[in-house]
Structure formats: structure tokens, C-alpha cells
Amino acid sequence: MDKIKAIEEYNSKIKRVLISEEEIKAAIKEAGKKISDSYNGEPILLVSILNGAFVFMADLCREITVPCEIAFMCAKSYYNGTNSSGIVNITMDLEQDISGYHVIIVEDIVDTGRTLNDVVKLLKARNPLSLRVVTLLDKPSRRIVDFDPDMSLFVIEDLFVIGYGLDCGEYYRNLPYIAEYNQ
Ligand code: 5GP
């Protein structure tokens, strides 16, 4: 495929903007304020699940006006058929002991809920002072396990979305907005 065709193909997959840059910015500002108000003075550790949540983490942490620490982990869950095996494969783990922190997991999207359900169980077993989950996007209609994030910035329908950290085949993470992917 020549270069122009490849770019046309790339652009044709961006069906429509679902959530604009401005809307994302405003929602993150509000979330940052809520977090700052509720944890003021407490030891906070923001834990971002890579790769998808890296953009959200970068913007959210800059709207938090109280001291906080930042960490990253990579987690993959394995399933037999449609059921979670309950096994989380941590391809990159946290380095610190989290028992002295109020942990806030920062996630890009909750879909079936399997990954976060497993990650939450795993981190709770490490006895943090408290543990909450904030997600940019939530697709509750797709839920398979009984899992509810503590804060969802946007609840969306059952659509495959890209942009703002979310990929399709590793592309589109750098779009500054959330778009519907043209399947
Ligand atoms: P869950 O375990 O909740 O089913 O899956 C969560 C992960 O699936 C997310 O962190 C994300 O990587 C991926 N995912 C779920 N829905 C979408 C979507 O609409 N678009 C993209 N790009 N990834 C998604």
C-alpha cells in the first residue's frame, strides 16, 4: 500500500468524535478536584494500568493539587472460555510496598470488568490504607463480572472506541479525543 492510501485507510477508521478534547479536559478537572478534596494531606499513590491509561494519568495527576505519588503497572488477565480464571499476569509490577498508601487505580476503560476485578483483588491483598478505582470510560452494558468503579468520568454505549490512550492495533493512542472506531 502506498503512503497516501495507508493514511486514508488510517483516517477512514475514525468514524466520529464521541468525546471532545474540551469535554475530557473539563471532566478531568472536576475529577482532580474531587480527589484533591477527599484525600487532602493523606499519602496517595496513583496507579495507572498501562498502556491505555497513560494519557489519562498524565492529565489527571496534573489536576490533583495535593501531594501524590505515581506508579505504573502492566496487567493481563487470562480466561478459560468466557470465565475468568482469576489469574492476573503482572507483566510489570509496582515497586513499592503499598500498605502505607491510599491507592487510586487510574484506568482507561472498564469493559467486561475482568481485568480490574482481578487487579483490585491482587492489590487489596497487599493491604493498602484504602483502594479506589477511577476510570475515564465505563461500558456497563458489557459487564461480565460484578465490578463497579468508584468514579467513571464518562459512561458510554457498547462501542469500540479509540484515542486518548486507547488503541486499535497500537495505533490511535495519540488522538487527543475519544472517537468511535469504524469496524
Ligand atoms: P475488561 O477486562 O474490562 O474487559 O477490559 C479492559 C481493557 O480492554 C481496557 O483496559 C482496554 O485495554 C480494553 N478495551 C475494552 N474496551 C475497549 C474499547 O472500546 N476500545 C479499546 N481501544 N480498548 C478497549
Q: Three cell numbers at 26?
A: 473539563
Structural domain contains residue 34: no
Q: What is the CATH number of the domain that holds 117?
A: 3.40.50.2020
Q: What pLDDT, on the 0 to 100 scale, is given for residue 18?
A: 98
- Name the catalytic one among 2, 37, 59, 111: 111
Cα 112 to Cα 34, 127, 144, 145, 170: the distances in Å are 26, 25, 5, 6, 20
pLDDT confidence band for 59 (50 / 70 / 90): very high
Domain that holds residue 168: 42-80+88-181
Asked which of 54-68, 85-99, 144-158, 159-173 is least confident by mean pLDDT, the reply is 85-99
3-state secondary structure of 50: strand
Question: What is the average per-residue pLDDT within 3-27?
Answer: 96
> What's this model's pTM, rounded to 2 decimal places?
0.94
In a domain, 3, yes or no: no
Whether pLDDT at 90 is above 90: no
Cα distance between residue 39 and residue 123, in whole Å: 19
Measured from the CA of 117, which atom of ligand 1 is nearest? 2
Indicate whether 82 pLDDT > 50: no
Q: How confident is the model at residue 40 (pLDDT cuts 50, 70, 90)?
A: confident
Task: Give yes or no: 97 in active site.
Answer: no
For residue 11, tell me if it sits in a domain. no
At residue 80, φ and ψ (nearest 5 deg) are -105, 115
Rounded to an integer, the average pLDDT of 143-155 is 96
pLDDT over 60 (residue 79): no
Residues with CB under 6 A from ligand 1: 52, 108-115, 160-162, 166-168
Q: Is the predicted pLDDT of residue 41 greater than 90, yes or no?
A: no
In a domain, 56, yes or no: yes
Residue 86 has pLDDT above 80, yes or no: no
Q: How far is the CA of 25 from the centre of ligand 1 (A)?
A: 21
Q: How far does the centroid of ligand 1 lie from the alpha carbon of residue 110, in Å? A: 6
> How distant, in Å, are the alpha carbons of 69, 113, 172 from that of 12?
39, 30, 12
> Mean pLDDT over residues 142-152, rounded?
95
Is the residue at 22 inside a domain?
no
The side-by-side arrangement of strands in the sheet containing 161-162 is 14-19, 178-181, 161-162
Name the residue among 111, 114, 123 with its Cα closest to residue 158: 111
At 80, the pLDDT band (50, 70, 90 cuts) reads: low
Q: Are 138 and 149 in contact (CB under 8 A)?
A: yes
Q: Count structural domains, the chain.
A: 1
